[in-house]
């Protein structure tokens, strides 16, 4: 396998323009502000930025209700500002991935407005209609409790239209070849402007055939293959990063039997069991989840993450497991969302830097590509007074000065966190830069370490038998070098005994401290782990670097 697959060892940083940095003083983040912060990302070691939707939008759903796929919302600047940002990112070696939100449009999109006008309208068949009220009109809601139906009657169209999400987001008809041609045109447009790929929103719903009254819907994977082929012809090294919260036995279809589908896919399944392990110190379900999602296609990869811009979805856990996670991380009802998830930031859930370090060390050490959410590198908190998922979408905290260094405007797109231990005066980039033991400086070191440990992105892995349910052990091997990574989820210290059964693994070099472990006369390693401790080891010295091809 060629070693040109850049995404195998990338570090992806997820951000929303509107809450990252405002340069024009209107209280909303913009491309000029983001361009000014590229040096910050570059210094941290970030090599890929994933941007949330920034196209023109009524903005009823954080920009995911798009009105025009071929532009930039005036709040964020102009297309010229986007091109200048792309130029600055390229100069620093930073790739840019953008959201591809083509499962639905805004109901204000000209296509939908035309489709409503008559049954013979040009864009009528670009959406999914039913003259009669479908039997399943109130089934399959993505946001239960906030969403009342998936079919809504439109008086002007004199028909019901389908919307898997909110009623102001009508679904596009993916079975219409003209719609798929337009999706390829959208991809081609942004590829020409330099993006390195797309985070594909709601992949299962995008590929889902919609027939009124038919409850069993077909997933048309051949459409995904169409988009992949187009992408590779237009830009050979571009990638598709898929959002598909599916069961492990379904994931192979999204990657493709021979890797002809998505390059990267978020591992929602493992994510949920990570939080179960963090809540209970029981690693066995996490080990099972890792094995269940073992990826056998070398050119495809999981994207591992802790928190994203939505709720922490726990829908794959059993009811008993979910309640244990709720009890630990979201004991109050207003901390929960949609009866399945948590709407808090990582730091507020865990409550201390040591456990935050454990969580991120764990995530970075799992098979796949790590994805960081903006603000998590400094331990930003949440604002539970904001509605639904907006609780974790507060402005980036750059300094302890007025408006957290985010903007000079009196009113911001979302209120700052200005009270309590996570207030911007206490938690901000400027302060943590100057503190040697800050979370930001620790995260920078972790990113650099992960970039050196290419065994994780490229190698074979196995779960080690640590003899302790509270300790997860991972072993990676690639081109003659090995990694051993241990994580202790317990509030108590433990000693782990490992028999690695390989001569070259008699000496383990600690990659985070000036220390090492040597096997005893029986070939056994005795390794101590502090409470919530983590240790990364490489077998032998750095001579492995001379053997890469």
Q: 496 near 387, Cβ under 8 Å? A: no
β-bridge mates for residue 514, sequence order = none
d(CA 174, CA 223): 8
Q: From its phi and psi, is residue 221 left (phi > 0), alpha (psi between -120 and 50) or beta?
A: alpha
175-193 b/e (C-beta count within 10 Å ≥ 16 → b): beeebbebbeebbeebbee
Strands 534-539 and 507-510: antiparallel
Which residue is catalytic, options 208, 243, 455, 490?
243
Q: From its phi and psi, is residue 99 left (phi > 0), alpha (psi between -120 and 50) or beta?
A: beta
d(CA 33, CA 20): 8
Q: 288 near 274, Cβ under 8 Å? A: no
Q: 341 near 314, Cβ under 8 Å? A: yes
Note if 243 is an active site residue.
Answer: yes
Strands 197-200 and 48-51: unpaired
Which of 535, 531, 501, 533 shows the shortest CA–CA distance to 517?
A: 535
Which residue is catalytic, options 201, 208, 357, 377?
201
d(CA 512, CA 387): 40
Residues near 339 by Cβ (< 8 Å), separated by ≥ 6? Answer: 144, 145
Note if 18 is an active site residue.
Answer: no
First to last CA, the chain: 11
Sign of CA dihedral 332, 337, 340, 345: negative
Q: Name the phi and psi angles at 199, rounded to 5.
A: -90, 110
Residues near 353 by Cβ (< 8 Å), separated by ≥ 6? Answer: 379, 439, 442
The size of the chain, in residues, is: 549
Residues with catalytic function:
201, 243
């Amino acid at each position: 396998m060629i070693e040109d697959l850049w995404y195998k060892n990338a570090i992806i940083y997820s951000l929303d323009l509107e809450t990252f940095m405002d340069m024009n003083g209107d209280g909303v983040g913009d491309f000029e502000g983001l361009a000014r912060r590229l040096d910050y990302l570059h210094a941290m070691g970030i090599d890929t930025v994933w941007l949330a939707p920034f196209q023109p939008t009524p903005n009823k759903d954080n920009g995911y209700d798009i009105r025009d796929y071929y532009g930039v919302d005036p709040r964020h600047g102009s297309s010229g500002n986007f091109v200048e940002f792309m130029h600055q990112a390229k100069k620093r070696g930073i790739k840019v991935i953008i959201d591809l939100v083509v499962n639905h449009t805004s109901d204000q999109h000209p296509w939908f407005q035309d489709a409503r006008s008559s049954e013979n309208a040009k864009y009528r068949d670009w959406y999914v209609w039913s003259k009669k009220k479908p039997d399943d009109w109130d089934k399959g809601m993505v946001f239960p409790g906030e969403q009342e139906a998936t079919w809504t009657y439109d008086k002007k169209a004199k028909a019901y239209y389908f919307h898997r999400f909110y009623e102001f987001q009508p679904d596009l008809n993916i079975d219409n070849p003209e719609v798929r041609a337009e999706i390829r045109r959208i991809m081609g447009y942004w590829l020409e402007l330099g993006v390195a790929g797309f985070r594909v929103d709601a992949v299962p719903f995008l590929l889902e055939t919609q027939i009124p009254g038919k409850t069993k819907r077909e997933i048309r994977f051949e459409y995904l293959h169409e988009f992949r082929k187009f992408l590779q012809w237009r830009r050979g090294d571009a990638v598709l990063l898929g959002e598909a919260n599916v069961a492990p036995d379904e994931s192979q279809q999204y990657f493709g039997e021979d890797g002809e589908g998505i390059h990267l896919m978020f591992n929602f399944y493992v994510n949920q069991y990570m939080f179960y392990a963090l809540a209970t110190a029981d690693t066995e379900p996490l080990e099972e989840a890792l094995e269940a999602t073992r990826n056998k296609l070398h050119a495809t990869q999981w994207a591992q993450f802790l928190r994203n811009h939505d709720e922490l979805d726990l829908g794959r856990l059993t009811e008993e497991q979910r309640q244990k996670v709720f009890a630990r991380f979201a004991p109050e009802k207003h901390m929960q969302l949609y009866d399945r998830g948590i709407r808090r930031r990582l730091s507020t859930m865990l409550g201390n830097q040591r456990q935050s370090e454990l969580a991120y060390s764990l995530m970075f050490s799992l098979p796949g590509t790590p994805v960081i959410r903006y603000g998590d590198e400094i331990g930003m908190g949440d604002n539970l007074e904001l509605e639904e998922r907006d609780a974790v979408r507060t402005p980036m905290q750059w300094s302890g000065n007025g408006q957290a260094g985010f903007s000079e405007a009196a009113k911001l797109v979302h209120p700052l966190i200005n009270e309590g231990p996570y207030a911007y005066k206490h938690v901000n980039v400027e302060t943590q830069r100057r503190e040697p033991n800050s979370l930001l400086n620790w995260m920078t070191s972790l990113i650099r370490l992960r970039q050196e440990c290419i065994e994780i992105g490229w190698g074979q892995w196995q779960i080690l038998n640590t003899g302790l349910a509270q300790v997860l052990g991972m072993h990676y091997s690639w081109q003659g070098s090995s990694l051993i990574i241990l994580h202790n989820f317990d509030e108590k210290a433990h000693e782990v005994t490992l028999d690695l059964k390989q001569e070259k693994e008699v000496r383990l070099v600690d990659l985070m401290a000036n220390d090492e472990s040597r096997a005893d006369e029986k070939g056994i390693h005795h390794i101590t782990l502090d409470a919530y401790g983590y240790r990364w080891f490489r077998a032998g010295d750095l001579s492995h670097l001379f053997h890469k091809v």
